[in-house]
């Protein structure tokens, strides 16, 4: 911003001072107070009272509460996991919508949203608020309970699949031994939501759209599921956690190199499953009425939309987990450098070096810099004192950061998110590039190409497992 001339600033200051002064006069009586003042006069004491009450009751109730939570650990875990997964979908969907706007804009040689928030990052939040603020409208003749439940079913079907996805060692909702089966079972439920929405809308176009999307998703579910069986054969388990662990080591251990055809089939089928371009016939937004969601508006439509983006994330996460090593590092971690000496649990020589030596050096360098560049305003003791304080704070923050990074699950989440968002980017990239296929091409491709290819993949994998006598066959 351009600096204002001093006189402008003085004027502004005078105006502000005047405003403060007149406010002080206004607050002397209730009658003279502005509505905001009156509100504050009521709310501030109330908030203070509630805060003090909360603190007191927390102190009193802390022991019994902890006892109760300790006695009901499975329940607590359930609540925490469900809350965490539901809450995770919100920033995920916002991030994906923002990514889509921004990435496709860049591919169109545009800039994309750049006004709301830094680099337009709050754009999807504003979109969400807009959808929330719209009228919750149900057309005449609609079967209201089913009409309302349909987006909920679709959304929950997506969210439930998040339960079994391992984000990092120890960071997952539930480690089922039928994890993958659960995933596809829950993912398949989203068809039910689409059908419900199409049927309940009391509109033949919605019904046809719903049936068509059901046909598409059910057709693609078959090659999708069969292509994954190869991975199950290799890993010898359906638990996603163990599948991720089976690929630990380096990038060469990933199943993508053992199952290249399966990755291709899975990726294509997953694109259709998530209703993404070039298979987004479910709501071909530029061609036909919006398919099953024709009659939807407001937040009911918002949930379909929401579920679509959560689906993209989930599908990317599943590809990562099944074929790209999940949360494991792509190279033999801790290469290229060992972070174990920073482990918070053991105080080793590294700590003494950092705290004792590095701190002194940093303090001296900083103090010298302050003393040199600050001129005579700073005496030597105060300059070095300040240098010591800054260096101490910096080193402390660095140590804490290093300890956090050294944690297993932080690294796990890092690698998992990096890989997942690479696939999210690929999905968005495809949407920015590929044209939509025709509906007969869509179905023909699934039945004539993907299904035989996935069966072939399954056959070859099974034969290899037996012939090579891989560990999972024993």
Partner 1 sequence: MTFIPGLGIAKGMALTLRRFFAPKATIQYPEVRPDMAVRFRGRLQLLYDEFGTLKCETCFQCAQACPVECIDMGGHDTKNRFYTHWGPAETYGERREESALRRSGRPVPDQAYVHFQPIDLVAVEEILEARDYDPGKMLPILEEVQAAYGYLPIAAIKHISHVTGAPYALVYGTATYYSHLSFERRARTVAVCRCTSCLLAGSGRIANAIGEGLWTKLAREPVGGVALEQLAAHIPGAASPLVTLDGKPQRDVTETSAAAWSRALAKKTVA
Nearer to partner 1 by Cβ, of 109 and 467: the residue is 109
387 vs 366: CA distance, rounded Å: 5
111 vs 103: CA distance, rounded Å: 9
Per-residue interface string for the shown chain with partner 1, residues 114-133, x marking contact by CB under 8 A: x-------------------
By CB under 8 A, which span of 89-97, 202-210, 307-315, 427-435 interacts with partner 1?
427-435
The β-bridge partners of 168 are: 171
240 vs 178: CA distance, rounded Å: 8
- The minimum distance between CB 328 and partner 1, in angstroms, equals 27
Q: Which of 434, 443, 460, 464 is in the footprint of partner 1 by CB under 8 A?
A: 434
Q: Which of 211, 430, 464, 473 is in the footprint of partner 1 by CB under 8 A?
A: 430
Nearer to partner 1 by Cβ, of 394 and 432: the residue is 432
Nearer to partner 1 by Cβ, of 33 and 261: the residue is 261
- The minimum distance between CB 8 and partner 1, in angstroms, equals 17
Q: Which of 107, 116, 125, 329 is in the footprint of partner 1 by CB under 8 A?
A: 107
Residues near 453 by beta carbon (within 8 Å), at least 6 away in sequence: 223, 261, 265
- The minimum distance between CB 142 and partner 1, in angstroms, equals 40
Question: Is residue 11 a contact point for partner 1 (CB under 8 A)?
Answer: no
- The minimum distance between CB 258 and partner 1, in angstroms, equals 21
Closest to 443 in 3D by CA, of 279, 216, 289, 269: 216
Contact between 58 and 132 under an 8 Å Cβ cutoff? The reply is: no
Nearer to partner 1 by Cβ, of 103 and 231: the residue is 103
Nearer to partner 1 by Cβ, of 433 and 441: the residue is 433
By CB under 8 A, which span of 316-324, 328-336, 390-398, 430-438 interacts with partner 1?
430-438
The three-point CA angle 91-417-180 to 5° equals: 95
320 vs 427: CA distance, rounded Å: 13
By CB under 8 A, which span of 174-182, 300-308, 373-381, 432-440 interacts with partner 1?
432-440
Nearer to partner 1 by Cβ, of 298 and 432: the residue is 432
**Residue 398 burial by CB count (10 A; 0-12/13-18/19+): exposed, middle or buried?**
middle
Nearer to partner 1 by Cβ, of 331 and 449: the residue is 449
Q: Which of 11, 34, 433, 441 is in the footprint of partner 1 by CB under 8 A?
A: 433
Number of residues located near partner 1, criterion CB under 8 A: 13
Question: Is residue 432 a contact point for partner 1 (CB under 8 A)?
Answer: yes
- The minimum distance between CB 445 and partner 1, in angstroms, equals 12
Nearer to partner 1 by Cβ, of 64 and 435: the residue is 435
- The minimum distance between CB 289 and partner 1, in angstroms, equals 28
By CB under 8 A, which span of 109-117, 280-288, 356-364, 457-465 interacts with partner 1?
109-117
- The minimum distance between CB 104 and partner 1, in angstroms, equals 9
Closest to 274 in 3D by CA, of 227, 226, 217, 318: 217
Q: Which of 57, 108, 379, 469 is in the footprint of partner 1 by CB under 8 A?
A: 108
Question: Is residue 111 a contact point for partner 1 (CB under 8 A)?
Answer: yes
- The minimum distance between CB 466 and partner 1, in angstroms, equals 31
Q: Which of 93, 103, 156, 160 is in the footprint of partner 1 by CB under 8 A?
A: 103
Question: Is residue 20 a contact point for partner 1 (CB under 8 A)?
Answer: no
- Per CB under 8 A, residues contacting partner 1 are 103, 106-111, 114, 429-430, 432-434
């Amino acid at each position: 911003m351009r600096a204002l001339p001093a006189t402008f600033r003085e004027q502004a200051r005078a105006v502000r001072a005047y405003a403060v002064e007149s406010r002080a006069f206004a607050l002397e009586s209730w009658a003279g107070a502005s509505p905001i003042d009156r509100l504050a006069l009521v709310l501030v004491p109330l908030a203070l009272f509630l805060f003090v009450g909360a603190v007191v009751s927390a102190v009193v109730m802390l022991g019994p509460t902890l006892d109760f939570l300790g006695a009901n650990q499975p329940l607590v875990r359930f609540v925490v996991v469900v809350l965490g997964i539901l809450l995770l979908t919100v920033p995920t969907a916002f991030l994906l919508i923002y990514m889509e706007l921004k990435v496709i804009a860049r591919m169109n040689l545009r800039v994309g949203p750049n006004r709301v928030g830094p680099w337009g990052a709050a754009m999807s939040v504003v979109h969400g608020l807009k959808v929330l603020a719209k009228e919750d409208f149900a057309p005449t003749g609609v079967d209201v309970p089913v009409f309302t439940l349909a987006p909920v079913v679709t959304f929950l079907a997506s969210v439930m699949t998040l339960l079994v996805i391992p984000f990092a060692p120890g960071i997952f909702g539930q480690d089922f031994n039928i994890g993958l089966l659960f995933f596809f079972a829950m993912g398949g439920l989203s068809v039910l939501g689409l059908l419900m929405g199409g049927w309940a809308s009391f509109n033949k176009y919605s019904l046809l759209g719903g049936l068509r999307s059901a046909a598409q998703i059910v057709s693609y579910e078959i090659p999708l599921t069969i292509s994954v069986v190869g991975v199950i054969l290799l890993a010898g388990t359906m638990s996603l956690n163990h599948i991720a662990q089976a690929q630990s080591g380096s990038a060469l251990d990933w199943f993508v190199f053992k199952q290249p055809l399966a990755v291709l089939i899975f990726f294509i089928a997953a694109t259709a499953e998530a209703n993404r371009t070039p298979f987004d016939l479910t709501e071909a937004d530029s061609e036909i009425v919006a398919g099953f969601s024709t009659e939807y508006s407001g937040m009911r439509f918002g949930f379909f939309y929401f579920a679509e983006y959560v689906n993209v994330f989930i599908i990317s996460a599943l590809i990562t987990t099944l074929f790209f090593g999940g949360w494991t590092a792509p190279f033999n971690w801790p290469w290229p450098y060992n972070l174990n000496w920073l482990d918070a649990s053991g105080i080793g020589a590294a700590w003494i070096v950092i705290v004792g030596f590095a701190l002194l050096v940093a303090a001296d360098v900083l103090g010298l810099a302050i003393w040199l560049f600050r001129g005579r305003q700073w005496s030597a003791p105060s300059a070095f004192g300040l240098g010591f304080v800054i260096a101490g704070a910096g080193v402390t923050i660095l140590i804490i950061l290093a300890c956090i990074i050294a944690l297993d699950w932080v690294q796990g989440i890092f690698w998992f998110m990096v890989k997942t968002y690479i696939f999210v980017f690929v999905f968005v990239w495809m949407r920015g590039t590929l044209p939509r296929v025709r509906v007969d091409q869509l179905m023909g491709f699934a039945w004539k190409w993907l299904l035989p290819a996935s069966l072939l993949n399954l056959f070859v994998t099974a034969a290899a497992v037996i012939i090579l006598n891989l560990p999972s066959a024993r």
